Amino acid sequence: MTDTAAPGVDRDVYPMPAFVTFPVTDLRASTRWYEALGFVVLATLPGPGGGDGLVHLRRQRHQDLLLVPGPPTPGPRVTFAAGEEDLDERAAQLRRRAAGGSVEGPVDTPWSTRDLVATDPDGYVVVLTAPRLADVAAAPEWTDAVTGSLGRRPGEGGWRSGGELSAPGRWAGRGPR
């Protein structure tokens, strides 16, 4: 096993609550493509024939991606939180460094995020999403405007669960969700 994670990336080995496995036609080319997207190689495991059998990539804690040799099986897109990462710079880096695939954006979405949509050479779609900072600053006003409609059916008043939002997207937790 080879460990090549960059400094600052969480290198802990932990039970991964969720992860994605992509079969790819060229393990090395796909690894380079994902490195350009901001992933680092956490580990490489040998395959039965002596070559690489699995590449474990990570962007942040709980943002793990496994690449394995095999025919691609493109399916739904996968979205990773980008925090306050500069998605314009990430898109430029991907366009410069990655061979194959495509890059769209980043673009502002109607749901207050800025998204970079990248399709790898095997057809897998990976989205990096970050909150729009102007919308984060306006979040208290937005929250006050919409909390009356959260947690209830049309025509009902109040909260079904007896809880409340402490901040946009954070549950204060009185009662089940």
Q: What is the pLDDT of residue 13?
A: 79
38 located within any domain: yes
Buried b / exposed e along 134-167 (16+ C-beta atoms within 10 A) = eeeeeeeeeeeeeeeeebeeeeeeebeeebeeee
Q: SS3 of 137, please? A: helix
Instruction: Show the domain range for 70.
Output: 20-134
Q: Give the whole-angstrom CA distance, residue 53 versus residue 46.
A: 5
pLDDT digits (tens, 9 = 90+) for 55-92: 999 999 889 999 999 999 878 789 999 988 999 999 99
CATH number at residue 69: 3.10.180.10
127 located within any domain: yes
pLDDT-derived band at 98, boundaries 50, 70, 90: confident
7 located within any domain: no
Q: What is the pLDDT of residue 66?
A: 92
* Residue 170 scores a pLDDT above 80: no
Reported in sequence order, the residue ranges of the chain that DSSP labels E, i.e. its strands, are 20-24, 40-46, 52-58, 64-69, 78-81, 102-108, 113-119, 125-131, 165-167, 170-171
Q: Give the whole-angstrom CA distance, residue 36 versus residue 92.
A: 10
Report the number of distinct structural domains present in the chain.
1
pLDDT-derived band at 172, boundaries 50, 70, 90: very low
pLDDT digits (tens, 9 = 90+) for 113-143: 899 999 999 999 999 999 887 776 766 665 5
148 located within any domain: no
161 located within any domain: no
DSSP 45-95: EE-TTSSEEEEEEESSTT-EEEEEES-----S-EEEE-TT--HHHHHHHHH
At 28, which helix (H) or strand (E)? helix 27-36
pLDDT digits (tens, 9 = 90+) for 20-43: 899 999 999 999 999 999 999 999
Higher-pLDDT residue of 2 and 108 is: 108
Q: What is the pLDDT of residue 10?
A: 82
28 located within any domain: yes
pLDDT-derived band at 103, boundaries 50, 70, 90: very high
What are the tokens at 27? 């393990």
pTM over 0.75: no
87 located within any domain: yes
145 located within any domain: no
